[in-house]
Structure 1
Amino acid sequence: MNGRRVLGLCAAVLSLGLVAGCGGADNTAPATSTAVPLVSTGDLPRPQPGEVHLFGINDLHGNLQPPEGANGKVGMYTAGGAAYLAAHLARLKAAYPDSAVLSAGDNIGASPLVSSLFHDEPTIDFLNSVGVAASAVGNHEFDHGVTELRRLRQGGCAADGCAPGEPFTGAKFPYLAANVTDDNGRLPPGLTPWTMLELGGHKIGVIGTVTTETEHIVMPEGIRGYRFGDEAGAIDKYVPEMKAAGAETVVALLHDGGAQQTHGRPVDYNGCADISPDVKALAHKTDAAVSVLLTAHSHQAYNCTLEGKVVTQAASFGRLVTDVTLRFHDGKVEAAAVNRVVTRELTPTTTTAQLVNFFAAQAKPLAQRVIGSAAAAVPAEPAPAGDSPLGDVIADAMLDAMTNVQAVAAFMNPGGVRAGLTGGTITYEQAYTVQPFGNQVVAVALTGQQILNLLEQQWDNASKPDVLSVAGISYSYSDTASTGHKVIDDSVRVAGQPLNPAAVYRVSTNNFLAAGGDGFTVFEQGSETLVGPSDLDALESYLRSHGAVVPPAGRIEKH
């Protein structure tokens, strides 16, 4: 998923109705006409002659332990957890031996501590253990740049040393990145555009792409020199090559996607209600030889037939598996699919449970350390004007961390706030869940006019504004004003004083934004960049020194 733009997933998914609530577990749907029936792996139909199955997952994000609250629900059904996912995949493989597991990307990145503390090596080990045959790269695979992605593919120790346990040997499956090239058309080291599967005597070309937004939502220096081109164009470019190699059909793993629009009704995870136009466009643009598009990135669930192609997505965090059936007969290929819930009522796979428990035990001393408290819940979701209460607290922490170099304001990107904080004790693990990217706090010198230009860039995103959370600065804006004139004249205050366009101000932010991330290129015009602590260290220091956090009132006004 868009790693640094997407807010707390509970609210994001609730808004589309996929998750019914953030309460406790309940695998029994209520007996109402609006309940979406459970479809899982307990009653699988017998395979027909000439039938091949593909099992698709996407956006696992290192969720090895069963996700909690809303993130562990599909409708009213409790779902997810690597050991349960492994058990369901084993059940599917037993029923359909001519099969393969595929991923549409974001296997890693923005991961819980049990995976990310060990550079997401546990997640790669898990995917190896369930026999993933190929994966598209997601934008989060590039969070730490192409060099780290190559290490995850090929194995070896991270720069800061080896993780505990067995030596890390890398992904046993190919990472596919057909639309990621340098100026000479070469892919990043260790990646390939497509691969061929041979199942049940049939050849299936599998190609992968990643959203073109990637260059704006990961650290720019990590992907410098690479372009993220049109996805459909990249797929179509390689179709003749795959067909020449004997592919009878092509399956595309696209780390891009959309959502159903159910207008208040519960989302059917096998439905296709008013699907996003961009999903239809992907189906329309891709070559007719492509029979299946396994999509990702938006963390939503749908199961569509568009332009004669099966187009699906399996939500996120290992809560669903897309079971694709390919039937080969008379030189033709017929495709169908069903999304199956990864319920927790079956016996979890022992080897997977042991893997997860090992790394959880390694992370436990750090995870449980208390670093602060909150007087009440501090939500990640935006206030009416667009800034987030928790985002504002993080901005406070970044400002506090750089007051020694006279920083007077701070900016935090909305997608960098991955979860809210509950009231009461705050542990390191909770803070890590909020900010899992490991960014650095920096201070940049900007003129007052550059700050105004920066604020106006919040409306450069065509789909919705990217309103930054702030500290030390306040202003008003009109959402209906013309582009470039949203911020109301003379409303901007820095440290309580009117903004002077000609003055120079030192502002604090994270190095992702400072490098022009999320399209905020004005930061790159700044001078005299000074480096501070990591964003997580800054937040911990702030929580320790400021007592119980009180959710702040909004600092921005929308007119």
Structure 2
Amino acid sequence: MPLPQRPHRPTRSRAWRLACAGVLLGLLAACGSSHDARQPGQMQITLLGLNDFHGNLEPPGLNINAAAAGEAPRPVPAGGAATLATLVARLKAEHPNTAVVAAGDLIGASPLVSSQFLDEPTIEALNLVGLDFASTGNHEYDQGWQELTRMQEGGCERYTSKVPCRLGHRFEGARFRYLAANTRRDDGSTLFTPTAVKFFEHGGARIGVGFIGLTLKETPRMVRPSGVQGLAFTDEADAANAQIPALRAQGADVIVALIHQGGESRAALQDTSCKGLTGDILPIVQRLSSAVDVVISGHTHQAYLCDYTRIDPARPLLLTSAGLYGTLLTEIDLTVDTASGRVITHAARQHIVHAGADGDAPDPAVQALIERYAAAAPLASAPAGRLAASASRALLPNGESVLGRIVADALLTATRAPEAGGAQIAFMNSGGVRADLVPGAGSQVSYGQVYAVQPFGNTLMTLTLSGAQLQALLEQQWNSGSNTLDHPRILQVSSGFSYVWNRAAPAGQRASDLRLDGQPIVAERDYRIGVQSYLGTGGDNFSVFTQGRDVVGGGLDVDALADWLRLESASAPMALPLQARITVR
């Protein structure tokens, strides 16, 4: 439907555009061909967007409800890079004026088949998919910015404990461009190019689409400090607005922000009404220049399509997110007036990435790439214990999850022995539990499944905190950095430790009745705490952990979880820990 008119900007003449095109051609990030517009004087441009892929080359075992509004639920298995490639190719054939873009977290927190190879397979697969541009997400920095730079530029230089280029060929890097307008080095330069322009032409008309890459400014609070040392993450809206004049000068008519920040919505899959949309993305969008036509977002792993005029009629833009793990692909269709360069209509829909008789056949080249890496990772199929039922990472009303309890118990077991540090209590951040554990035949779970739960390669730590520090630590769940009462981060706790939390209590008093094995925690007494290295170095804003004393290191967290599952299921499948450890009043 027609959109509200935007503030007038000078119309460029066709001759002026063609002249600028000749000067700027060598500077363009990409070029595109075009197809005939719906009407004379109009051009149709399509954006295909994804986000939070997290190296899910193989289908992640998730279902998407394909039912229309009012229909009975119709779950459809979704995901897989090979199927995604076929879907992208089909949509590009239908809409030749297409750019394929992403809003961050393409890598990091990845399953074993990608993570074991430093996510090189995911970059190679996305090259084959035909990705054009991507913003960085917080997980792009999991292995440090130097390793992220290698992902872009290629090569086999080693920046981590893992060995790059393990299959014997030189890693060529990403053919697509990472964009980073609000990620700056000490000298003021951006880590990657902040923007890019892609041009489309037809019948003498030329339309430029400018892309701005942004990640959430809270990134330093979400990754290891060493991974972003020397970088600053500035305000997202300010950074985006500052780039618009330069994009206009390069010939960009349409402006698209690719931002790794997002929200949540209660709307159905194809509903563009913005129903119930909330989250950190909204104040950012509200501060963006009215020149921005589309915001492709991510981070929250939620799917939504929002015609933002439903929220603010003065901002005729589309705000979208494609969920998680490559299960969805967002199609955004823009009709552009070729004389003024303005978007006059827009529309969006979600495509389920679905293989099978009623879906898309996997792309042979991408499938062959995945199988080559999977064959080089035989550990993925090794058994790692048995579970009596599926263990979910979904958070319960008290902030715990069943799988979070299992992971915390595994940490405690691995750090409890005197030589391992003598832990009495263990904590796990809920965001570090990345996948459900779903047993297969014979109640078996594989090492690959366990790795998907804890894919970061964190090591174990045991440290000493006083009872008073434990109290302060728990209070940081609601009052530290981006941890707030409205958006708390509730730590997963091990068996034997319990407490009560009260949202209505004053700050500093929300956690109470802390107990270990039924006995009250004493403020002056010392306690040994088991964690993984992400938390132990202050991750997720839990800075109290950095005050820990007498630190003892340990092995990998993923091995601790696999060992715990094997131990607990030696005689029978492990029963799920269903008893609450945290009480909410």
Q: Secondary structure at the match of 1:107?
A: coil
Q: Secondary structure at the match of 2:132?
A: strand
Q: Identify which range, 70-79 or 451-460, moves more after superposition.
A: 70-79
Distance in 1 (alpha carbons) for counterparts of 2:566 and 2:92: 50
Is it true that 1:487 corresponds to 2:511 in the alignment? yes
Q: Secondary structure at the match of 2:63?
A: helix
Is it true that 1:551 corresponds to 2:585 in the alignment? no
Aligned partners of 1:72 and 1:319 also within 8 Å: no
Alignment of 1:418-457 (within 5 A): 418-423=434-439, 424-457=443-476
Amino acid at match of 2:278: S
Shift of 1:183: 4.4
Distance in 2 (alpha carbons) for counterparts of 1:230 and 1:111: 28
Is it true that 1:229 corresponds to 2:234 in the alignment? yes
Q: Identify which range, 266-275 or 220-229, moves more after superposition.
A: 266-275
Distance in 2 (alpha carbons) for counterparts of 1:321 and 1:377: 28
Distance in 2 (alpha carbons) for counterparts of 1:469 and 1:260: 26
1:254-284 per-residue CA deviation (whole Å, 9 max, x = no partner) reads: 111112224xxx4435553232264443332
Aligned partners of 1:51 and 1:328 also within 8 Å: no
Distance in 2 (alpha carbons) for counterparts of 1:65 and 1:278: 30
Aligned partners of 2:273 and 2:307 also within 8 Å: no
Q: TM-score, normalised by structure 2?
A: 0.82
1:8-61 per-residue CA deviation (whole Å, 9 max, x = no partner) reads: xxxxxxxxxxxxxxxxxxxxxxxxxxxxxxxxxxxx998555333222121111
Shift of 1:98: 2.6
Shift of 1:556: 2.0
Shift of 1:84: 1.6
Structure 1 counterpart of 2:295 = 293
Distance 1:178 1:538, change over 3 A: same
Amino acid at match of 1:61: H
Shift of 1:186: 2.8
Distance in 1 (alpha carbons) for counterparts of 2:389 and 2:100: 43
Aligned partners of 1:322 and 1:337 also within 8 Å: no
Task: Give 2:55's match in structure 1, choosing from 54, 62, 85.
Answer: 62
**Identity over the aligned pairs, expressed in percent?**
40
Amino acid at match of 1:87: T
Shift of 1:495: 4.7
Amino acid at match of 1:299: H
Is it true that 1:171 corresponds to 2:174 in the alignment? yes
Distance in 2 (alpha carbons) for counterparts of 1:278 and 1:452: 28
Structure 2 counterpart of 1:40 = none
Distance 1:410 1:164, change over 3 A: same
Aligned partners of 2:500 and 2:584 also within 8 Å: yes
Is it true that 1:246 corresponds to 2:251 in the alignment? yes
Alignment of 1:23-42 (within 5 A): none
Amino acid at match of 1:96: H
Aligned partners of 1:399 and 1:410 also within 8 Å: yes
Aligned partners of 1:72 and 1:79 also within 8 Å: no
Structure 2 counterpart of 1:412 = 428
Distance in 2 (alpha carbons) for counterparts of 1:317 and 1:396: 27
Alignment of 1:334-483 (within 5 A): 334=343, 335-341=345-351, 342-344=353-355, 345-363=359-377, 365-403=378-416, 404=419, 405-423=421-439, 424-460=443-479, 461-462=483-484, 463-471=486-494, 472-483=496-507
Amino acid at match of 2:390: A
Distance in 2 (alpha carbons) for counterparts of 1:275 and 1:540: 39
Distance 1:477 1:100, change over 3 A: closer
Q: Identify which range, 165-174 or 227-236, moves more after superposition.
A: 165-174
Structure 1 counterpart of 2:95 = 96
1:175-210 per-residue CA deviation (whole Å, 9 max, x = no partner) reads: 11111124442333xx12111212223222211101
Distance in 2 (alpha carbons) for counterparts of 1:340 and 1:555: 39
Alignment of 1:171-250 (within 5 A): 171-188=174-191, 191-200=192-201, 201-250=206-255
Amino acid at match of 2:411: M
Shift of 1:241: 1.5
Shift of 1:130: 2.2
Distance 1:532 1:47, change over 3 A: farther
Aligned partners of 1:72 and 1:80 also within 8 Å: no
Q: Secondary structure at the match of 1:459?
A: coil
1:273-332 per-residue CA deviation (whole Å, 9 max, x = no partner) reads: 232264443332111221111111122222223211122222222232222333232213
Q: Name stretches of at least 5 consecutive residues in structure 2 with no aligned partner.
A: 1-34, 68-72, 309-314
Structure 2 counterpart of 1:499 = 521
Shift of 1:109: 1.6
Structure 2 counterpart of 1:17 = none
Q: Secondary structure at the match of 2:85?
A: helix
1:349-404 per-residue CA deviation (whole Å, 9 max, x = no partner) reads: 211121122222222x2111112112333332334432222222212221222222
Considering Cα pairs closer than 8 Å and 6+ residues apart, tell me whether 1 or 2 has the greater RCO. 1
Is it true that 1:320 corresponds to 2:328 in the alignment? yes
Distance in 2 (alpha carbons) for counterparts of 1:322 and 1:384: 31
Alignment of 1:103-182 (within 5 A): 103-157=102-156, 159=158, 160-161=162-163, 162-164=165-167, 166-182=169-185
Aligned partners of 1:105 and 1:136 also within 8 Å: yes
Distance in 1 (alpha carbons) for counterparts of 2:364 and 2:333: 28
Distance in 2 (alpha carbons) for counterparts of 1:271 and 1:436: 36
Q: Secondary structure at the match of 2:274?
A: coil
Aligned partners of 1:59 and 1:106 also within 8 Å: yes
Aligned partners of 2:269 and 2:350 also within 8 Å: no
Q: TM-score, normalised by structure 1?
A: 0.85
Distance in 2 (alpha carbons) for counterparts of 1:73 and 1:225: 45
User: RMSD of aligned C-alpha atoms?
Assistant: 2.3
Larger radius of gyration: 2
Structure 1 counterpart of 2:544 = 522
Amino acid at match of 1:319: T
Amino acid at match of 2:318: V
Alignment of 1:46-61 (within 5 A): 49-61=42-54
Aligned partners of 1:251 and 1:290 also within 8 Å: yes
1:448-471 per-residue CA deviation (whole Å, 9 max, x = no partner) reads: 111110011111222332221112
Q: Secondary structure at the match of 1:458?
A: coil
Distance in 2 (alpha carbons) for counterparts of 1:328 and 1:555: 60
Q: Identify which range, 513-522 or 57-66, moves more after superposition.
A: 57-66
Q: Identify which range, 401-410 or 492-501, moves more after superposition.
A: 492-501
Q: Identify which range, 393-402 or 168-177, moves more after superposition.
A: 393-402
Q: Secondary structure at the match of 2:293?
A: strand
Task: Give 1:330's match in structure 2, choosing from 324, 339, 351.
Answer: 339
Q: Secondary structure at the match of 2:394?
A: coil
Aligned partners of 1:145 and 1:221 also within 8 Å: yes
Distance in 1 (alpha carbons) for counterparts of 2:305 and 2:394: 28
Distance in 2 (alpha carbons) for counterparts of 1:102 and 1:347: 22
Q: Name stretches of at least 5 consecutive residues in structure 1 with no aligned partner.
A: 1-43
Amino acid at match of 1:196: V
Q: Secondary structure at the match of 1:70?
A: strand
Aligned partners of 2:209 and 2:255 also within 8 Å: yes
Q: Secondary structure at the match of 1:132?
A: coil
Shift of 1:95: 2.2
